[in-house]
Chains A and B, each alone.
Chain A
């Protein structure tokens, strides 16, 4: 199904774990350095209300004076677990795109503010870079370097799976508990 900007609370609350979505609109990349900076009270250089954050450190090079995205897949999200929930609540984030899933604090924040975790396929940097139709800006580049900067990507039909929804459901929690059970059977003395 299509998920188009503006990313309203209503649209996000309508999504359920397992839904395949195609995202269109502007998303902001942000990973370890950006999350630490915002968490420590740094001023966001972009408006994060109703925004989607993309956990991504892209390969972007300048060709003929223009930014060209060479590769742009997701990075592992769980590192932002200490920050994500509070930032969702503080700024009214509507979604996070990443990979690997996040923990209970983020899940609780998704439920509270009406947001989702959108799982992109890790490693699929070319399929996902094809969905970036324009680079609309870059921030904190000097401070954090290219992979850790905030890139404003306009995306069209960016594919992702809803793996944590605004109803307290997490595919990651389900898979982890099923695999823990399977493991304990395999390790029975």
Chain B
């Protein structure tokens, strides 16, 4: 595959991620909509959300104007170098910005100047892993600032929350984070949670957890049970979509764990908004999209 083809495929990944929510997310939104009582602000919010999902896909325009931090996770086979992938991806991002799939969203933190094309130090974010598979797998997440701002990291023990260094402590942190977020992260949200790691790897892993399909069940029965429990408990808080009040505060909880040093016990929580823009594909060496990962 030549560089132009790779760029075109990546542009399509960006377009699809920005404009079309994957089916697993739509199913969760529909379930939330059915759960809310008619005539409530919660039901109304879900109605607008559902209309918006259809409209964005139909018009091929961004679901949300905050096209967020661009985070790409790549399993890279031998036939493409990191350098070549990055170059193609950056060109695709630049083009996607010009045609309006992405907002001009990269600002110099010192001067306040917007780079105008989403490129700059640290932008876009690409995580590479090597793979022995023939196909390249790329997953893309567009994570808006509103939900990123309500993410939280706890260092246990936390005496204020009565949270010790165990899963009960983790539970207390996660519920506290949901309560603090209220409607500010564009709920109903999905949580990515990492237990352990250091401050940096904990947050990275919490975002990686958001790449899982929304309706899967964790392979570890202990974490599967905790995910279920946290989802149910968070939905008794009554915060509801947009913080309007209601029965649907979260759409999902995804937990992962990393080893830690004996002295540290971090719980890192990334909050993803209902506009859960993440998609991915497998791309053959010949440039054919073999599979969309969340369909």
Contact = CB atoms under 8 A, between A and B. Distances in A.
A187 B245 CA distance: 20
Interface of A: 18, 20, 33, 56-59, 61, 68, 70-73, 75-76, 78, 99-101, 119, 121-127, 129-130, 144-148, 159, 161, 163, 171-172, 174-176, 178-180, 182-183, 186-187, 189
A180 to B, nearest CB: 7
A61 B184 contact: no
B75 interface: no
A14 B44 CA distance: 22
Contact of A175 (B56, B61, B103, B183): B183
Contacts of A121: 45, 48-49, 52, 242
Given A122-B146, A124-B52, A127-B48, A183 B65 contact: no
A176 B178 CA distance: 11
Contacts of A56: 65
B236 interface: yes
Contacts of A58: 65, 103
A71 B61 contact: yes
B114 A147 contact: yes
Contacts of A122: 64, 146, 183, 186, 242, 273
B182 A175 contact: yes
Interface of B: 41, 44-45, 48-49, 51-52, 55-56, 59, 61-67, 98-100, 102-105, 107, 112-114, 116, 144-146, 149, 161-162, 172, 175-176, 179, 182-184, 186, 233, 236-240, 242-245, 273-275
Nearest to A161: B41
Given A70-B62, A71-B62, A172-B243, A126 B176 contact: no
A8 B135 CA distance: 61
A57 B52 contact: no
A59 B65 CA distance: 6
14 contacts: A57-B66, A71-B61, A76-B149, A100-B146, A100-B182, A100-B184, A101-B183, A125-B62, A126-B55, A145-B104, A147-B103, A183-B176, A186-B175, A186-B236
Q: Which residue, of B100, B145, B176, B183, has the highest number of chain A Cβ atoms within 10 A?
A: B183
Contacts of A76: 145-146, 149, 184
Contacts of A159: 48
